[in-house]
A and B are shown apart, each in its own frame.
Chain A
Amino acid sequence: MEPIIQLKDVAMLYGGNGTRATALAGVSFDIRQGEYVVITGESGAGKSTLLTILGGLQVPTDGSVRIGGADLSALPADGLADFRRGTIGFVFQAYHLLPYLTARENVMVPMAPERVSPREKMERADALLAAVGLTGKEDRLPSQLSGGESQRVAIARALVHDPPVLLADEPTGNLDSATGEQILDLFSSLHARGKTVLMVTHNPANLSRATRSLRLRDGLIEEDRSLRSFSLESVAV
Chain B
Amino acid sequence: MNIRKLAWKNLLRRKPRAVFTGLGIFLGIATFVAISSITSQMEGAVQDQLDRFGANIVVSPRAEQLSLGFGNIALGGTEVAHSRLTMGDKDRIASIHHKDRIRSIVPFLMTAVDVSGKNLVWMGLPRTDVAGARPWWQIQGGAELKPGEVLLGAEAAALLDKGPGGTVTAGSRLFRVAGVLQPTGEKEDGMVVADISDVQALARKPGAVTYFEVAALCKDCPVEDIVAQIGQALPGARVSAIRQVVESRKAAVDQLRRLGLGVSAIVLLIGGLMVLVTVMAGVQERTREIGVLRAVGFRKRAIFSLLFWETGWVSLLSSLLGAGTGIAVAFLASPAFGIEHPSVVFSPALFGAVAGLFLGLIGAIPPARRAAALSPTEAIRTL
Not counting A57-B376, A109-B296, A113-B305, a sample of 20 additional A-B residue pairs whose C-beta atoms are within 8 angstroms of each other reads A57-B380, A58-B376, A58-B380, A77-B299, A77-B300, A78-B301, A81-B299, A85-B296, A90-B296, A92-B383, A96-B288, A96-B292, A99-B13, A101-B1, A109-B1, A110-B297, A111-B1, A112-B2, A112-B3, A161-B297
Give the number of chain A interface residues (Cβ < 8 Å).
Answer: 33
The dominant DSSP class at the A interface is helix
Q: Which of B294-339 contact A (CB under 8 A)?
A: 294-302, 305
How far does the alpha carbon of A129 sit from the alpha carbon of B377 in the complex, in Å?
29
Contacts A58-B376, A100-B10: A94 and B296 contacting too (C-beta < 8 A)? no
Whether a CB of chain A sits under 8 angstroms from the CB of B263 is no
What A residues does B2 contact at CB under 8 A?
Answer: 112-113, 118
What A residues does B298 contact at CB under 8 A?
Answer: 81, 110, 112-113
How far does the alpha carbon of A109 sit from the alpha carbon of B1 in the complex, in Å?
7
Whether a CB of chain A sits under 8 angstroms from the CB of B350 is no
CB nearest neighbor in B for A56: B376
- Contact B293 A109, beta carbon cutoff 8 Å: yes
Whether a CB of chain B sits under 8 angstroms from the CB of A142 is no
Whether a CB of chain A sits under 8 angstroms from the CB of B75 is no
What B residues does A118 contact at CB under 8 A?
Answer: 1-2
CB nearest neighbor in A for B302: A113
Whether a CB of chain A sits under 8 angstroms from the CB of B12 is yes
What A residues does B288 contact at CB under 8 A?
Answer: 96
The dominant DSSP class at the B interface is helix
Q: B126-150 vs A: 1/0 string, CB under 8 Å?
A: 0000000000000000000000000
Give the number of chain B interface residues (Cβ < 8 Å).
Answer: 28
Identify which of B3, B292, B380 contacts A52 (C-beta below 8 A): B380
Q: Which of A72-115 contact B (CB under 8 A)?
A: 77-78, 80-82, 84-86, 90, 92, 94, 96, 98-101, 105, 108-113
Q: Which of A31-89 contact B (CB under 8 A)?
A: 52, 55, 57-58, 77-78, 80-82, 84-86
How far does the alpha carbon of A112 sit from the alpha carbon of B292 in the complex, in Å?
13
Q: Which residues of A contact B (CB under 8 A)?
A: 52, 55, 57-58, 77-78, 80-82, 84-86, 90, 92, 94, 96, 98-101, 105, 108-113, 118, 121, 157-158, 160-161
How far does the alpha carbon of A62 sit from the alpha carbon of B376 in the complex, in Å?
18
Q: Which residues of B contact A (CB under 8 A)?
A: 1-3, 5-6, 9-10, 12-13, 288-289, 292-302, 305, 375-377, 380, 383
Contacts A81-B294, A84-B295, A113-B302: A57 and B13 contacting too (C-beta < 8 A)? no
CB nearest neighbor in A for B289: A98
CB nearest neighbor in B for A169: B383
Closest CB-CB distance, A70 to chain B, in whole Å? 14
How far does the alpha carbon of A111 sit from the alpha carbon of B300 in the complex, in Å?
15
Contacts A55-B295, A57-B295, A81-B300: A96 and B383 contacting too (C-beta < 8 A)? yes
What A residues does B380 contact at CB under 8 A?
Answer: 52, 57-58
Contacts A57-B376, A105-B1: A82 and B299 contacting too (C-beta < 8 A)? yes
What B residues does A113 contact at CB under 8 A?
Answer: 2-3, 298-299, 302, 305
- Which of A58, A94, A113, A118 counts the most chain B CB atoms within 10 A? A113
- Contact A108 B296, beta carbon cutoff 8 Å: no
Closest CB-CB distance, A227 to chain B, in whole Å? 28
What A residues does B293 contact at CB under 8 A?
Answer: 109
What B residues does A110 contact at CB under 8 A?
Answer: 296-298
Identify which of B6, B289, B375 contacts A112 (C-beta below 8 A): B6
How far does the alpha carbon of A82 sit from the alpha carbon of B288 in the complex, in Å?
20
Closest CB-CB distance, B45 to chain A, in whole Å? 50
What B residues does A160 contact at CB under 8 A?
Answer: 296
What B residues does A77 contact at CB under 8 A?
Answer: 299-300
How far does the alpha carbon of A60 sit from the alpha carbon of B78 in the complex, in Å?
105
CB nearest neighbor in A for B14: A100
Identify which of B6, B301, B383 contacts A109 (C-beta below 8 A): B6
How far does the alpha carbon of A112 sit from the alpha carbon of B303 in the complex, in Å?
11
Closest CB-CB distance, A75 to chain B, in whole Å? 12
What A residues does B305 contact at CB under 8 A?
Answer: 113
What B residues does A161 contact at CB under 8 A?
Answer: 297
Closest CB-CB distance, B282 to chain A, in whole Å? 14
What B residues does A81 contact at CB under 8 A?
Answer: 294, 297-300
